[in-house]
Structure 1
């Protein structure tokens, strides 16, 4: 978020928690992008604040979290001290989550694969209306093909991303043996190392597709520890994921920090992933 909007988002998060009876002396920005994550102290709650245009996504994330907590999935939980729902304040959607103090080193590949297996098993127990991964690809493709949404994307790079998104989405749909509910974006930044063990966060991207689509977000070694995974399909999904990531970075209204770097890096990763295929 831009500085002015960020200040308003922080105040919305603080005010919401205070009105719910939680003591708030300070707010620390944990992550800032199109929505912001705040650690409020001393109540020690993690607040996620999104523009009201993302209300449906925030409500979906809260519903997914509630349902996964019921089946003991390895995910971050909503704060138990308040009603598990999305609160609206000053044009922002606010949700309150348990704060987990990070511990230890990064999650090892074998442990990453194990938490994937447990998470996928829990997701299979849910009956949940979620989009298909190809719906997300289609949204990225629209952003690439619409010059008003991505005016700074060169013709050559636009052709690269458009062809990759369209071609790989179709190929993966044909190659996938089975599909199920997925996390959607389980990259290392969305897997916390906590005293409870590894926990997935950022559940708004939950979608349907092959497990390889999830595995492609993790370091390459992780898929080798996941029993039954199609390694070739993982590589195709990895190229597709980088193409989607790049598409979002080239949107005119993208707010990811250091966007200029990630625009270049995203395209480089797409080319590298296609070469490895």
Structure 2
């Protein structure tokens, strides 16, 4: 968020927590993009604040978290001191979560794969009719790439690269396969916290349906090799598709990811490398 919107988001997060009886003397910005994550002290709550246009996404994330906690999934929990719902304030949608102090050590591939296995098992135990298929997300990204008004700075050659990769790999990975299930959706290392409770997945609003390889493709390659039953060729194709999705979001005119110019170039390079890796370059 730009500085003015960020100040408003901080004020909204502080106000909601205070009105719910949580003491807030200090606010630390943990992450700032199209949504922000705020650590509120001394109550030690993580407030996720999104523009009101993301209300449905925020409500979906809260519902996913509530259901997964009930089946012992390795996920971050909503703060137990307040109602598990989205709160509205000053054109923002705000949800309040338990804050987990990160442990400094890197998550070992075996532990990452174990967290995946437990998370996927928990996802198989819940029913989320509202969860989209991964191809629905691909279709949204394709619209951003194909519409020059939405991605005006994308060159013709790179637009063709992303458009072709999104459409062809989405079709190649398939729809409605027997191995499909609910997934995290974006379980990259930034969305797996190493905590005193062990690895916990966060950012649950990306939950979708598809093959487990779609999730595994977000993690380091060694993790997929340690996940029982994973198809390595499918993981490679999903990795190329995921980098194409990432790049599509970065080239939106409205994207607010920090260091966006770097990630625009890096994303396209990763797409080409991933395509070469699976023989589709």
Give the TM bin, normalised by the shorter chain: over 0.9
Q: Secondary structure at the match of 1:134?
A: helix
Distance 1:54 1:11 in 2: 18
Q: Secondary structure at the match of 1:85?
A: coil
Q: Look up the match of 1:56.
A: 56
The unaligned stretches of length 5 or more in structure 2 are none
Task: Number of aligned residue pairs: give it.
Answer: 277
Q: Secondary structure at the match of 1:39?
A: strand
Provide runs of 4+ in structure 1 moved above 4 Å.
174-177
Question: Which runs of structure 2 are paired with 1:67-146 in the superposition (5 Å)?
Answer: 67-129=67-129, 130-146=131-147
Work out whether residues 175 and 233 of structure 1, in 8 Å CA contact, stay in contact via their aligned partners in 2: no
Q: Look up the match of 2:200.
A: 199
Is 1:8 the counterpart of 2:8 in the alignment?
yes
Q: Look up the match of 1:186.
A: 187
Q: Secondary structure at the match of 2:149?
A: coil
Question: How far apart are 1:106 and its partner, in Å?
Answer: 1.3
TM-score (normalizing by structure 2): 0.98
Question: How far apart are 1:47 and its partner, in Å?
Answer: 0.2
Please tell me the root mean square deviation across aligned C-alpha atoms, in Å: 0.9
Question: How far apart are 1:104 and its partner, in Å?
Answer: 3.4
TM-score (normalizing by structure 1): 0.99
Q: Look up the match of 2:156.
A: 155
Distance 1:243 1:128 in 2: 26
| CA offset digits 1:10-50 (Å, max 9, x no partner) | 00000000000000001000000000000000000000000
Question: How far apart are 1:118 and its partner, in Å?
Answer: 0.2
Distance 2:67 2:201 in 1: 14
Q: Look up the match of 1:23.
A: 23
Distance 1:49 1:86 in 2: 10
Q: Look up the match of 1:275.
A: 276
Distance 1:221 1:69 in 2: 28
